[in-house]
Chains A and B, each alone.
Chain A
């Protein structure tokens, strides 16, 4: 065990860290709310400055390093482990975790089973070594054996306390984990998991109408949000709008599950599948009478259909970074939503 001393703008913290353990994860699991968003090396939010000690950078090519001033000792807490006791500095306010929040922890998980949802989208479940709580909209960092660092995956399911997590992955050419997942049968494989993470969360207590805009596998967290909303009868007196963007009808998945949400609250749920490169066929339309289909990029379709429905809205965004950026731009500039009613975790 080594010690990490953190000097933040408002105060100091200390915590222990293990060999090879990310500085970020060791702080988070001891209840120090260190700054982060992706927790997996891409967003740069967890940057800190090394004052004293030696680091082991486990992913020197991490894309998030482009936000760093390396000549001034800056590093990504999510990717670096301590080789000696550390003294580091964070240019932000840091607090202890809010009372009642679920403190993230390390888990071991076994892949329970997987199924193909489309030719390039796969869903899989993971059985954790013990149960955990998480909030709808959160994700965990997952490390597959022999394939580098952690990747972030949002939970698709929602149960207050559970040992089973459900994920969805899209095949990315050249993506180490996704290629491995598609080329192999992952059932029975043991994974390292850290979480739950992320602040783009939904609580029934917030009393707002819900707008979800998701591209591709970004639908995962939205499924969790709609599951919780439906389980707790939230949509009996709140509106829920969901826009799911894919290229073609063949790329769409979870349509049965989305139709089941709609069937529970036909008046108040409005679910649209946006196809970016084709118009929907009558056949697909007939198969899912509860769902609406539209053509265009998901943020454009959402902008068109949401006009005059932005009252008392909180918006959740997820998907490929360009899609999320376009949706943010639309919500800020056209819908004039206040920034604190737009929730997403940055993955770029």
Chain B
């Protein structure tokens, strides 16, 4: 993992927060909690508000705009928040704070709460795939094999065939999961078309291999299936399918 120097320890108030910009223009929020430091995306995933304008009590971060909240030790959503925060590896050397890059797999709410061993096993299964603007990741009727996690870009979905298609939404947030039929044993064919509206990068995981990895860690398997049910019902309730 390549590390980027972000700031000095003394730049972050004790049990407080401060946002910084990396040389590449990425905004990163660093929070102090007791003796530990954590780094997350500096912009609220809801409506692009600066999180450092929000409230922080040393444990829970609250965006002041619509009160989305996160547990600072894990970045996991609490209360009204619908998604976790993008998390950066953080290292302290001397009195300086460095950050690594974050993986979409760590951000994906589907794998939230999964033990780090199982997450490592899943990381090993993940293949990075890049798609050009306009290319299709899968078509209606394609055999279902992989589950996808968005790294960057924008993917749109359509239901139906030929000229009778209807839009079924889009995803653009790092860590969003699609193609989850790969985790269901009785869903052999794609029911939507996934097209990249921008050059996009995704992590592809073979559904069968993911299930195998989870079967070795039943509590992780339980968490993933619970998250999957949440994900699926959210789309069913709104009659879209991904």
Interface set of A (CB-CB < 8 Å, partner B) = 7-12, 44-45, 67, 89, 91, 93-95, 325, 328-329, 332-333, 338-340, 342, 346
Instruction: Collect the chain A residues with CB atoms within 8 Å of residue B57's CB.
Output: 333
Asked if A95 contacts B47 (CB within 8 A), the reply is no
Q: Counting CB contacts under 8 A, is B234 at the interface? A: yes
Task: Give me 16 A-to-B residue pairs in the complex whose CB atoms sit less than 8 angstroms apart, sorted by A's number.
Answer: A7-B169, A7-B170, A10-B235, A11-B168, A11-B169, A44-B47, A67-B47, A67-B48, A89-B170, A93-B234, A328-B64, A329-B55, A339-B62, A339-B67, A339-B78, A340-B79
Structural contact, A332 and B80, CB atoms closer than 8 A: no
* B144-171 interface (Cβ within 8 A of A): 166-171
Is there an interface contact between B167 and A7, defined as CB atoms closer than 8 Å?
yes
Contact with A along B225-237 (1 / 0, CB 8 A): 0000000001101
List the count of A-B residue pairs having beta carbons below 8 Å apart: 58
Question: Is A332 a contact partner of B172 (Cβ separation < 8 A)?
Answer: no
Is B167's CB under 8 angstroms from A9's CB?
no
Which residues of the partner chain B approach A11 to less than 8 Å between Cβ atoms?
A: 167-169, 238-240
CB distance from B182 to the nearest CB of A (A): 20
Q: Could you tell me the distance between the alpha carbons of A191 and B35 in the complex, rounded to whole angstroms?
A: 60
Complex Cα spacing A203 to B79, Å = 21
Check if B65 is an interface residue, CB within 8 A of chain A: yes
B residues lining the A interface (CB < 8 Å) = 47-48, 55, 57, 62, 64-69, 78-80, 82, 166-172, 234-235, 237-240
Contact between chains at B68 and A95 (CB < 8 Å) = no
Q: How far is the CA of A12 from the CA of B167 in the complex (A)?
A: 6
* Known A10-B169, A11-B169: A346·B65 in contact at CB below 8 Å: yes
Which B residue's beta carbon lies closest to that of A341? B79
Within the assembled complex, what's the spacing in Å between the Cα atoms of A342 and B78?
Answer: 14
- Do the beta carbons of A9 and B69 come within 8 Å of each other? no
A322-B84 Cα distance, complex, nearest whole Å:
28
Which of A8, A11, A89, A94 has its CB near the most chain B CB atoms (within 10 A)? A11
Chain A residues in 8 Å Cβ range of B65: 346
Asked whether B238 lies within 8 Å of A332 as measured between CB atoms, the reply is no
The answer to whether A332 and B62 have CB atoms under 8 Å apart is yes
Q: In the complex, are the beta carbons of A339 and B55 less than 8 A apart?
A: no
- CB pair A339 B68 closer than 8 Å: yes
Q: How near does chain A come to B175, taking the closest CB pair, in angstroms?
A: 14
Residues of A within 8 A of B80 (CB): 339-340
